[in-house]
């Protein structure tokens, strides 16, 4: 008994080639699309989790400060903890509180006007973030002697050890407190952001108006009972966000944002801060943008899969149209034929829907095993869930519909209609197709314009949030389809040209092949469009991957600005004020080093960054991308250093440890000496790397006698630093008092010694800058330096006035305009132009500048930050000529070809430095899952597109060869050689392959130019600085085209071998129908 199902099976078995091709297309489509969907979800989740795991503590934490005393602290502490617990819910969080007391005078300092001080403090959880190196943690002592713990730096500075006892006195109440050192500890990470703003705990001392050592750490109970007298407590909450689901990011951010308002509701003096809401909001946006960007290859593949399946379905329908027409003439209605076609499609699609979710995870694991993906540390191990099977079923059903549609449409034709249509070629005029092309072109243009306008495939929703814009996401796919369809118009034109060219030659195969293509161009349009789109997707994928990788390097270069950028305090116990440069220059692999000053330029309501470094080394240090400036970096450096003043300096020979200066101050009115007893000369020293520092040389004694003042050069290096010799003395700064009753005086320098060896000094010239009350001093002959300072005219004032400022400089200086390079936004807003002098407010000082260059963006600054660049040597020379202290080195830029220097710096956290390593930064940017997720999606889409193209070409070529089998055999019977028959087949297929490769490459170049720079974003889903430059690696592109051509011609060769095995007699007995 035969029913409908056996008929479906018989039809399927009768056309194994086309049904297997349809099965392969549907299986590939469902597997690839399910894999891409799982990949997008997994990468977004992994990226969010990675971002939260690696987020700095200062970003994820929440701080709350409030004034407390012994009475209010317990209740406020309970309230704060309850609010944190309610806000964080199931998210685990570490909550700690730190309190510091008022100041206490150290032993022997009680009666001094500026005593050295200390403070008591309590830090909850300190034991978990430090280790004892001596003694034990202090115990609670409500009365009597207080047990304290000291950090190692504080114990060293105070020369204390475990067991020492001493008495300190309160600055506010003069009450004495007896103290015993119970233990000494060392912070596990003194640079941790947990201790941000608490330099006293980190370094053991803090220098401001007073010098404070400590703190003296006590248990919280002791502190509250004995020292909580109107002090400030600070609560720190650090949540563990590793398990926070991505969909909870914005609700959790909103809850944390409201926490501060609730805590401050009844406390006007309280402060609350947290950067977590902004970070979570930005992370949620980044995840949304990453997923939307990964939809781009998904939609491209979906479009290609749909077209490949439609091509297979059309071939299947064409092959069966006579059979369907005969069934219809024998009484089969359209409904029955439609059901038969649908059942046959489901027979192919249903197994694919079941199998695809199980094939997708191994495919993703294969992608995650790629070296560049494995380096990111992301492991893709998703498991199929209900959503996966739902997507698979949806894709399979859609494929089944596409497979059945041509058969359903063909079921309406009668036998006579089919017979008559077979003799006519499928021709469709350009005018008939112009409407569809035009609609696609408009949609693609609108989508690309929106992508370029918004900069990402997301836009604001009506609810004020962000959502995926389907038109923008579809833009690249629409552009590819539109370009491919417009390219199809070339098929008839090229075919006609080829026919005319080949018809003039004697060879049969080229002429017959060109004639065949020219006669039925639309028969070849299907595979041409399929191959064109596949090639375009492949080339766009290669271009996107290459552009993304180059952009990560560009971003790393721009952020780091140099191979290594090291920032730290000007002075520290390990590396002194002149000890950093020499130490950094000696690091392994360092080829160039320069001190850098970083300040601000005031531009109305906006502050711009100001950078100054040794311009003669700019080409070896600054990583400025070539397209960001009109001139090479070497030219920019030469222009910046072009106005560097020729200021002579006193060279200090050898490697001295001390510098001594013999001075004499003689007042015209000795009875006024008390007004001049606080004058301290500041020697401006410069090391071999260009770093300058003003060293205080000791107090001058105004008694007319010779006195020796000494500068400890070795101490300026720090405990672990080294000086960059040779050193030089570039000037002397002196603050001259302007008392109400003053006296002229003469300052003489009669000797200058380096480690006891005399130094010869050149002629000196005096300069002045101040409030105008100090008349210009005068340098006169005598000794190394003799400076006559006239009496200031201050008698008109009732009180003493501020100091006058004197700079004494060797030689006669000049004060030229300061050459600068500015970013384009500054040039536009301040109306600056190259070669036109102007004024800029640099660190609050109006400075005459001369722009010598304009750049699009300045390395070492944030993406949208305007910036100004100058030569540090020129800037510091101007400081001297205006009697200002030299701009200090706030950071160092180092050039190094490898990572040895960075590795060595990482071994010395005690140097108190922040290192920006270009190589490590590039690696970090490359391995960010949210930013790099597009790469895996491109690989999956690219591979699937090529398989679709090869499969579609193979099926089309095989069907075409089988349909024309009789034609080929007749040609053989007429004496045409197999070689000529193969040539005929090769010409036809070469037409498809050549036109597709060329058209796909051109289309890819156009689409990549329009789209790729706008889908390459940062890991935070923001625009990239410097701007993205499209990179189409033509070497890899040509290799791809050659590989595809090789595979396709191999398919043609395989078909030729099949034709050759076909017997001549058997083929001649095959009828047309």
958-1010 per-position pLDDT tens digit: 777 666 666 666 666 666 666 666 667 777 777 788 888 988 999 999 999 98
pLDDT the model gives residue 591: 95
pLDDT tens digit sequence for 394-420: 988 888 888 777 766 655 555 555 555
What's the per-residue H, E or C state across 132-175? EEEECCCCCCCCCCEEEEEEHHHHHHHCCCCCCEEEEEECCCCC
- Which has the closest alpha carbon to 302: 399, 227, 379, 443? 399
Quick one: average pLDDT of 762-768? 66
What would you report as the CA-atom Rg of the chain, rounded to the nearest whole angstrom? 40
Instruction: Give yes or no for residue 37 having a pLDDT over 90.
Output: no
- Which has the closest alpha carbon to 1014: 555, 483, 482, 453? 453
Quick one: average pLDDT of 774-800? 69
Quick one: average pLDDT of 41-64? 83
Phi, psi of 610 (to 5 degrees): -120, 125
Neighbours of 973 (CB within 10 A): 12
Cα 71 to Cα 141, 143, 182, 232, 483: the distances in Å are 18, 18, 28, 13, 77
Kindly indicate the confidence band of residue 1, based on its pLDDT and cuts at 50, 70 and 90.
Answer: very low
pLDDT tens digit sequence for 414-457: 555 555 555 444 545 443 455 566 777 787 788 778 777 776 66
Instruction: Give yes or no for residue 1065 having a pLDDT over 60.
Output: no
The neighbouring-strand residues paired with 659 are: 711, 754
Peptide bond into 1026 cis (omega under 30): yes
Looking up tokens 């040509």 gives 1038
Cα 291 to Cα 39, 55, 419, 923, 931: the distances in Å are 9, 21, 51, 22, 10
pLDDT the model gives residue 423: 47
Quick one: average pLDDT of 593-610? 89
- Do β-strands 211-217 and 117-123 pair in parallel, antiparallel, or remain unpaired? parallel
pLDDT the model gives residue 771: 52
Cα 967 to Cα 316, 512, 971, 984, 988: the distances in Å are 20, 12, 6, 11, 14
Instruction: Give yes or no for residue 879 having a pLDDT over 70.
Output: yes
Quick one: average pLDDT of 156-163? 90
**Structural domain boundaries in the chain:** 4-48+283-488+520-554+926-1068, 60-240, 599-612+624-645+815-886, 650-810
Peptide bond into 78 cis (omega under 30): no
pLDDT the model gives residue 1057: 74
> Any idea which of 111-125, 465-479, 826-840, 940-954 has the lowest mean pLDDT?
465-479
> Any idea which of 68-82, 102-116, 129-143, 924-938 has the lowest mean pLDDT?
924-938
> Any idea which of 310-319, 386-395, 581-590 has the lowest mean pLDDT?
310-319
Quick one: average pLDDT of 222-237? 91
Beta carbons within 8 Å of 296's beta carbon, 6+ residues apart = 457, 473, 476, 477, 934, 937, 1015
Instruction: Give yes or no for residue 803 having a pLDDT over 50.
Output: yes
Report the SS3 class of residue 210: coil
Instruction: Give yes or no for residue 462 having a pLDDT over 50.
Output: no
Structure tokens at 751: 């000797």
pLDDT the model gives residue 492: 72
Q: Is the dihedral of CA 848, 851, 857, 859 positive or negative?
A: negative
Instruction: Give yes or no for residue 957 having a pLDDT over 70.
Output: yes
pLDDT tens digit sequence for 832-862: 899 899 999 898 888 899 999 999 999 999 8
Kindly indicate the confidence band of residue 482, based on its pLDDT and cuts at 50, 70 and 90.
Answer: confident
Q: Rounded to whole angstroms, how far apart are CA atoms 600 and 871?
A: 15
Q: Rounded to whole angstroms, how far apart are CA atoms 837 and 606?
A: 21
Beta carbons within 8 Å of 578's beta carbon, 6+ residues apart = 685, 687, 691, 693, 713, 716, 717, 721, 723, 724, 727
- Which has the closest alpha carbon to 1011: 299, 35, 34? 299
> Any idea which of 382-396, 490-504, 806-820, 1038-1052 has the lowest mean pLDDT?
490-504
- Do β-strands 176-187 and 130-135 pair in parallel, antiparallel, or remain unpaired? antiparallel
Quick one: average pLDDT of 621-640? 93
pLDDT tens digit sequence for 723-755: 999 999 988 888 888 777 778 888 888 888 898
> Any idea which of 209-213, 392-396, 759-763 has the lowest mean pLDDT?
759-763
Q: Rounded to whole angstroms, how far apart are CA atoms 36 and 132?
A: 52
Question: What beta strand segments (E) does 604-705 contain?
Answer: 606-613, 650-652, 658-667, 682-686, 692-696
Phi, psi of 657 (to 5 degrees): -105, -25
Percent of the chain with pLDDT over 90: 27
pLDDT the model gives residue 829: 87
Instruction: Give yes or no for residue 545 having a pLDDT over 80.
Output: yes
Higher pLDDT among residues 866 and 491, named by residue? 866
pLDDT tens digit sequence for 103-130: 999 998 888 878 889 999 999 999 999 9
Percent of the chain with pLDDT over 70: 81
Instruction: Give yes or no for residue 393 having a pLDDT over 70.
Output: yes
Kindly indicate the confidence band of residue 614, based on its pLDDT and cuts at 50, 70 and 90.
Answer: very high
pLDDT the model gives residue 820: 95
pLDDT the model gives residue 523: 66
- Which has the closest alpha carbon to 649: 686, 619, 613? 686
- Which has the closest alpha carbon to 546: 86, 934, 213, 260? 934
Average confidence score pLDDT of the chain: 81
Q: Name the H helices within 597-643.
A: 618-621, 633-640
Q: Rounded to whole angstroms, how far apart are CA atoms 970 and 1071?
A: 12
Report the SS3 class of residue 724: coil
Looking up tokens 């020129």 gives 874
pLDDT the model gives residue 429: 45
pLDDT the model gives residue 1071: 47
Instruction: Give yes or no for residue 464 having a pLDDT over 60.
Output: no
């Amino acid at each position: 008994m035969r029913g409908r199902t056996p008929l479906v099976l018989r039809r399927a078995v009768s056309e194994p080639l086309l049904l297997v091709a349809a099965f392969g297309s549907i299986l590939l489509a469902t597997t690839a699309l399910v894999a891409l969907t799982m990949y997008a979800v997994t990468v977004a989740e992994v990226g969010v989790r990675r971002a939260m795991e690696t987020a700095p503590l200062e970003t994820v934490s929440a701080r709350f400060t409030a004034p407390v005393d012994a009475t209010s602290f317990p209740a406020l502490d309970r309230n704060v903890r309850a609010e944190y617990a309610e806000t964080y819910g199931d998210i685990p969080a570490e909550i700690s509180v730190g309190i510091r007391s008022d100041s206490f005078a150290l032993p022997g300092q009680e009666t001094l006007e500026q005593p050295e001080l200390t403070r008591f403090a309590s830090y909850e959880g300190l034991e978990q973030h430090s280790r004892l190196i001596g003694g034990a943690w202090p115990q609670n002592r409500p009365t009597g002697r207080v047990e304290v713990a000291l950090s190692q730096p504080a114990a060293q500075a105070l020369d204390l050890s475990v067991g020492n006892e001493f008495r300190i006195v309160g600055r506010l109440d003069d009450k004495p407190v007896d103290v015993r050192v119970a233990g000494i500890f060392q912070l596990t990470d003194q640079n941790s952001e947990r201790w941000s703003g608490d330099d006293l705990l980190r370094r053991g001392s803090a220098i401001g108006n007073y010098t404070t050592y400590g703190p003296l750490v006590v248990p919280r109970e002791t502190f509250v009972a004995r020292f909580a007298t109107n002090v400030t407590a600070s609560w720190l909450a650090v949540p563990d966000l590793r398990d926070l689901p991505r969909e909870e990011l914005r609700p959790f951010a909103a809850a944390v944002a409201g926490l501060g308002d609730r805590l401050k509701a009844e406390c006007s003096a309280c402060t609350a801060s947290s950067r977590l809401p902004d970070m979570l909001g930005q992370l949620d946006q980044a995840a949304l943008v990453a997923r939307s960007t990964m939809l781009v290859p998904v939609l491209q593949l979906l479009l290609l899969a749909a077209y490949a399946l439609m091509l297979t379905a059309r071939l299947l329908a064409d092959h069966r149209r006579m059979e369907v027409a005969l069934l219809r003439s024998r009484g089969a209605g359209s409904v029955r034929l439609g059901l038969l076609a649908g059942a046959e499609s489901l027979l192919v699609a249903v197994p694919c829907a079941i199998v695809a979710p199980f094939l997708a995870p191994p495919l993703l694991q294969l992608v995650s095993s790629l070296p560049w993906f494995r380096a990111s540390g992301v492991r893709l191990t998703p498991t199929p869930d209900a959503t996966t099977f739902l997507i698979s079923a949806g894709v399979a059903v859609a494929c089944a519909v596409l497979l059945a549609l041509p058969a359903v449409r063909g079921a309406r034709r009668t036998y006579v209609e089919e017979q008559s249509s077979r003799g006519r070629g499928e021709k469709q005029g350009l005018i008939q197709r112009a409407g569809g092309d035009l609609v696609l072109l408009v949609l693609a243009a609108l989508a690309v314009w929106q992508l370029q306008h918004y900069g990402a495939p997301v836009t604001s929703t009506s609810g004020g949030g962000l959502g995926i814009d389907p038109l923008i996401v579809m833009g690249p796919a629409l552009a590819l389809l539109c370009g491919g369809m417009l390219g199809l118009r070339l098929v008839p034109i090229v075919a006609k040209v080829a026919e005319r060219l080949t018809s003039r030659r004697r060879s049969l195969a080229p002429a017959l092949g060109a004639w065949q293509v020219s006669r039925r161009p639309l028969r070849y349009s299907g595979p041409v469009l399929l191959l064109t789109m596949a090639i375009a997707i492949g080339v766009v994928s290669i271009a996107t991957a290459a552009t993304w990788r180059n952009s990560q390097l560009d971003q790393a270069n721009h952020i780091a600005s140099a191979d290594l950028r090291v920032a730290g305090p000007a002075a520290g116990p390990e590396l002194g004020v002149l000890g950093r440069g020499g130490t950094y220059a000696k690091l392994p692999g360092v080829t160039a080093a320069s001190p850098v000053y970083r300040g601000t330029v005031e531009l109305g309501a906006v502050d711009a960054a100001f950078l100054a470094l040794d311009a003669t080394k700019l080409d070896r240090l600054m990583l400025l991308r070539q397209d960001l400036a009109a001139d090479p970096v070497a030219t920019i450096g030469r222009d910046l250093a072009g106005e560097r003043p020729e200021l002579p300096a006193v060279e200090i020979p050898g490697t001295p440890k001390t510098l001594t200066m013999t001075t004499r101050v003689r007042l015209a009115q000795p009875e006024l000496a008390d007004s001049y007893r606080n004058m301290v000369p500041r020697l401006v020293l410069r090391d071999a790397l260009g770093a300058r520092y003003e060293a205080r040389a000791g107090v001058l004694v105004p008694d007319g006698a010779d006195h020796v003042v000494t500068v400890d050069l070795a101490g300026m290096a720090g405990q672990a630093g080294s000086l960059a010799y040779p050193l030089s003395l570039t000037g002397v700064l002196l603050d001259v008092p302007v008392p109400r009753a003053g006296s002229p005086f003469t300052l003489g320098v009669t000797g200058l010694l380096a480690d006891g060896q005399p130094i010869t000094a050149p002629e000196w010239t005096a300069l002045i800058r101040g409030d105008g009350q100090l008349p210009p001093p005068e340098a006169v002959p005598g000794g190394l330096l003799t400076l006559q300072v006239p009496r200031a005219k201050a008698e008109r004032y009732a009180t003493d006035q501020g100091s006058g400022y004197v700079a004494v400089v060797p030689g006669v200086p000049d004060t030229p305009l300061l050459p600068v390079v500015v970013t384009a936004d500054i040039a536009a807003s301040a109306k600056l132009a190259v070669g036109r002098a102007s004024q800029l407010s640099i660190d609050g000082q109006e400075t005459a500048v001369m722009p010598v260059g304009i750049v699009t963006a300045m390395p070492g600054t944030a993406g949208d930050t305007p910036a100004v660049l100058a030569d540090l040597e020129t800037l510091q020379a101007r400081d001297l000529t205006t009697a200002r202290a030299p701009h200090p080195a706030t950071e160092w830029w180092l050039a190094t070809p490898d990572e040895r220097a960075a590795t060595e710096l990482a071994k010395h956290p005690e140097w108190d430095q922040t290192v920006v390593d270009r190589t490590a930064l590039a690696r970090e940017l490359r391995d960010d899952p949210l930013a790099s997720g597009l790469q895996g999606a491109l690989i999956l889409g690219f591979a699937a597109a090529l398989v679709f193209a090869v499969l579609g070409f193979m099926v089309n070529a095989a069907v075409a060869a089988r349909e024309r089998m009789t034609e080929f055999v007749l040609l053989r019977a007429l004496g045409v050689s197999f070689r000529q028959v193969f040539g005929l087949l090769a010409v036809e297929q070469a037409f498809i392959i050549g036109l597709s490769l060329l058209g796909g490459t051109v289309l890819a170049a156009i689409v990549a130019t329009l789209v790729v720079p706008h889908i390459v974003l940062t890991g935070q889903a923001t625009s990239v600085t410097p701007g993205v430059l499209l990179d189409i690696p033509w070497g890899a592109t040509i290799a791809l085209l050659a590989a595809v051509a090789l595979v396709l011609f191999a398919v043609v060769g395989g078909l030729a071998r099949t034709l050759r095995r076909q017997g001549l007699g058997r083929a001649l007995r095959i009828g047309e129908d």
